[in-house]
Amino acid sequence: MRGDPDNPAEVMGVLNPAITRGPDGKLYIFARIVAEGNHSRIGIGEVLFDAHGEPASVKRMGYALEPSESWEQNARTAGCEDPRVTFVEPLGIYVMTYTAYGPLGPRIALACSKDTLTWQRIGPVQFAFMPAYHVDFNLYDNKDAFLFPRPVRDPHGELALALIHRPSNMQGGGGGLHKMPIVPAGVAEARASIWISYCSLARALRDPSELMLWRDHCLLATPEHDWELLKIGGGTPPVLTSRGWLMLYHGVAGRILEESDHQPYVRYSAGAMVLDVDNPRWILYRSAEPVLSPEADEEKEGIVPNVVFPTGIDVRDGTRADVYYGMADSCIGVARMSLIEA
């Protein structure tokens, strides 16, 4: 999928899509669609398949979300960005996590749907204060969030819904506040890393608006390898396999330009991680080398060169999954992943 250069709403590309199977069995794609000025909307499209069953093109169907709320706008631009969609089985609804590029910078927000075609905002996520960390996670820039489709055990052993997210360990944001590293107490890693937080299943079953409040934040994974030297973050929502929860994540190497929306000196690659089914804080496997790296021309040349950014996964059968990903912050590709079941 490419941006339409004749459409002002797509002139800066289409990228970083969520995907999900709808109740009708069709595969829907929710691309970040970027207009001039880094103004982002979340589109709706249907993935069309060729005669061999391979994803081939996208039928555009309008927009799921446009940045109309105050938490999605700031003095420079506005944005509903980088969605992920999970069908949360116990709630019987699709939940979209997305980045709201608001007054204090990027924050996580939620929307929900029963049919994947009509979306209602739940609101911006709030993180419960944990005195042991001596920080307020609501002050951090935060991105790359998604939910697990099924309940897991929280740190207290109770059934809960789980959220992957990536706070930046920086205070302040797009509103012009001074940025300085503020690392949670007891955490040695200052680089942006992957965290997991929880929401009471019982409370969410009573009222889905309880998904706005998350607690029991735990550091899940930090940068380890050269290809993820700068930071890591979540990629595709987890899918259940016989080995555990499989999710792809992204790692970044290179050099960051502060206060820049687009980073020309970085390289984004993707790795695989397998988490324990009942206790996803336990990492069973993590790839030492990338499973997907920028190699194709569309991945090496674009708005931000040298980027592969996986955000959606479609399990086709027991041995294959299609991974949808952003290419150089400009267009969308799909890659095939082989799954070996025990």
Q: What is the pLDDT of residues 136-163, one digit of tens each?
A: 999 999 999 999 999 999 999 999 999 9
Strand partners, 77: none
Structural contact between residues 339 and 248, judged by C-beta atoms closer than 8 angstroms: no
Q: What's the rounded Cα separation, in Å, for the pair 319 and 5?
A: 37
User: pLDDT tier at 259 (50, 70, 90 boundaries)?
Assistant: low
Q: Over 90: is that where the pLDDT of 172 sits? A: no
Q: Where residue 260 falls among pLDDT bands split at 50, 70, 90?
A: low
- Distance between CA 11 and CA 176 in Å, rounded? 27
More confident residue, 172 or 8: 8
CB 268 within 8 A of CB 307: yes
Domain boundaries, the chain: 8-338
Per-residue confidence (pLDDT) for residue 341, from 0 to 100:
67
Nearest Cα residue to 110 out of 154, 150, 64: 64
Query: Which candidate, 163, 172, 152, places its Cα nearest to that of 277?
Result: 152
How far is 253 from 270, CA to CA, in rounded Å? 11
Predicted pLDDT at 237: 98
pLDDT at 179: 59
Please tell me the total number of residues recorded for the chain in this structure.
Answer: 342
**115-129 average pLDDT score:** 97
Greater pLDDT, 263 or 142: 142
Q: At residue 17, does pLDDT exceed 80?
A: yes
CA distance 247 to 315: 12
Query: pLDDT value at position 170?
Result: 61
Q: Does residue 294 have a pLDDT over 70?
A: yes
Give the CA distances from residue 271 to residues 300, 333, 342, in Å, rounded to whole numbers and listed in that order: 18, 17, 21
pLDDT by residue (tens digit) across 181-195? 789 999 999 999 999
178 pLDDT higher than 80: no
Instruction: Give the Å distances, CA to CA, from 32 to 74, 119, 166, 253.
Output: 18, 15, 19, 23
pLDDT value for 340? 76
Q: How many CA atoms lie within 13 A of 86 on its CB side?
A: 25
Model confidence at 247, pLDDT cuts 50, 70, 90, reads: very high
Q: Positive or negative, the Cα torsion across 324, 325, 327, 329? A: positive
Mean pLDDT of 9-26: 97
Q: What is the pLDDT of residue 257?
A: 77
% of the chain at pLDDT higher than 70: 95
CA angle 160, 165, 171 (to 5 degrees): 125
Decide: helix, strand or coil at residue 212: helix
Q: What angle do CA 211, 16, 197 make, to 5 degrees?
A: 30
Class of domain 8-338 as given by CATH: mainly beta
Q: Which residues contact 110 (CB under 8 A, 6 or more apart)?
A: 95, 96, 97, 98, 121, 122, 123, 124, 125, 211, 212
Structure token digits, residue 289 = 């080398």
Number of neighbours of residue 144 by Cβ within 10 angstroms: 26
Average pLDDT over residues 327-336: 97
In sequence order, the 6+-apart residues with CB closer than 8 A to the CB of 54 are: none
- Residues 185 and 72: their CA atoms lie apart, in Å, by 30
Closest to 77 measured CA to CA, from 44, 43, 109, 100: 100
Mean pLDDT, rounded, for 70-77: 95
